[in-house]
Structure 1
């Protein structure tokens, strides 16, 4: 008898790690009761018949030396990022729960001096306002949202037109049109 190619996996709702069997406590983040059973759909991707894009040798790429960078308002962050936030780039902050990723992200969007949207799928707008008050953040260019459905987030982006977008945390965002757990797409 042929076996189904779809196998059950268990995803941690806290840290996003996946496992082949259920655990009461996530081995990665040590949180209890955070694993959810998930049966991933069979892959729907099919080749369009076009050849794969060729690779490029790194040394042959010429780049503009004057690419626009914006200050984060935090000199050490700017230094780590090679001179500030690069227009069009994506930055992923990672680390253990509770080490300050959300606080750092809020400080960056407040310090960038440009319109920004901070989408927190894990905290309410009131919680964000309390954190901003504690940090002394009073930016009028900073918009906040507690949305976690990606199509609604994209609609907010089209209205606000931010120069900087933060999604905290990307693993909690989902698309209601897809049969999957948040963060697993």
Structure 2
């Protein structure tokens, strides 16, 4: 005999409360609490452990199962070299960003049997999308079902190597009275799929939606359950999409994959530096090229800045693709150490191409672009700027300096400005001229000379 009780769960982060709250104390989101039913079981069965399931640690263990490759280099690299058998992968992102397109194209490249479970599209709609994406793989089987028990039964009978569930928000377990898409249904369905993946050694890819309003439970609730969490993101106004690994038990979380959306699906961007700089205007102020490390590879990006007089009491500070708080610090350093009176000017900063940069190695490029537009001085179009800025105006060293230099030389740049302390870590000869700088003042003089 079970008794139902009501609890309120935040659809953004999964925080639980006995009463409805307007603002979530955990994630500070407004109007995200939804009412859910919870079953309380009065009796529980005690189970004894099985001694045969206890194994000792074996440091000489050799991986017997090979990773499943999709032949999409960007996708495989973010996963750590391919899909690990027996793992469960969660791909999250905004609706319409291209998650279903990505997994369909990945499934078309897999030589092993694939079961595609869809609860959002009909069989005819799946076929039309596969035709548009030029998918022709007889190893893909499709089932249009949302009942988890039927899905698990289909997996056990067909025994595929890869299972794709699109999406977890539409999947439900009939044992619970909660509607599909609620926190309880999503969590319980994911736990059962995880247990099935470990037992059958098949890889399961789950697609999860995140809405801007937070009305549907997002991947944050499932991060501790799954093995890998991939975030597929991008701006609607741009054709580029970025795949990031936020959690990966079988690989690095520093890798990213870059794709470009076309009419016939997603295409890999194998040389993102060339694409991000293809539309750069060389004869304009406020434009500086920098080298950022994303994962294990360097990417050259254009930093754009616009400084205008402020007509109001509080000047605007707008940053696209860069941390706003970091921008405020750099503006204070420019005003104090470089004598640039920016406190009465609006500052607009943009990282071209729709990509976001979080590493401090682009600080010097940010300061250079702002100073260039403020002083109305052109920067040299054949120069790349790298360096972290300290509060004292010093230029600090950065990591992976050789990779950044080689990428700049490969794309035809003639000069590169780097921190002086990085000179000792350069061991290979390069065709590009290396200009070391110690502080912000000397760096700006080298850039504008």
Paired position in structure 1 for 2:93? 95
SS of corresponding position for 2:90: coil
More strand by proportion, 1 or 2? 2
> Which aligned pairs between 1:5-154 and structure 2 lie closer than 5 A?
6-9=5-8, 21=20, 37-42=35-40, 46=44, 48=46, 63-65=61-63, 67-154=65-152
> Which aligned pairs between 1:155-170 and structure 2 lie closer than 5 A?
155-170=153-168
CA positional deviation for 1:177: 2.8
Greater relative contact order (Cα 8 A, min sep 6): structure 1 or 2? 1
- The TM-score with structure 2 as length reference comes to 0.33
State whether residues 16 and 171 of structure 1, in contact with CA within 8 Å, keep that contact through their aligned partners in structure 2: no
Q: Distance in 1 between matches of 2:98 and 2:43?
A: 38
CA positional deviation for 1:11: 7.5
SS of corresponding position for 2:77: helix
CA positional deviation for 1:113: 1.3
CA RMSD of aligned residues (A): 3.6
CA positional deviation for 1:142: 0.5
CA positional deviation for 1:121: 1.0
Q: Against the structure 1 CA distance between its residues 77 and 178, is the aligned structure 2 distance closer, same or farther, given a 3 Å change threshold?
A: same
Q: Distance in 2 between matches of 1:62 and 1:181?
A: 47
State whether residues 11 and 37 of structure 1, in contact with CA within 8 Å, keep that contact through their aligned partners in structure 2: no
Count of paired positions: 170
* Structure with greater Cα Rg: 2
Q: Against the structure 1 CA distance between its residues 142 and 43, is the aligned structure 2 distance closer, same or farther, given a 3 Å change threshold?
A: same
Deviations 1:70-127 (A, max 9, x none): 1112111111111111111111101111111111111121111111100011111111
Q: Against the structure 1 CA distance between its residues 127 and 65, is the aligned structure 2 distance closer, same or farther, given a 3 Å change threshold?
A: same
Q: Structure 2: where are the runs of 5+ without partners? A: 28-32, 50-56, 189-449
Q: Distance in 2 between matches of 1:105 and 1:165?
A: 10
Q: Distance in 2 between matches of 1:177 and 1:159?
A: 22
Q: Distance in 2 between matches of 1:19 and 1:124?
A: 35
Q: Against the structure 1 CA distance between its residues 86 and 39, is the aligned structure 2 distance closer, same or farther, given a 3 Å change threshold?
A: same
Q: Against the structure 1 CA distance between its residues 164 and 9, is the aligned structure 2 distance closer, same or farther, given a 3 Å change threshold?
A: same
Q: Structure 1: where are the runs of 5+ without partners? A: 29-34, 52-57
Q: Distance in 2 between matches of 1:168 and 1:16?
A: 21
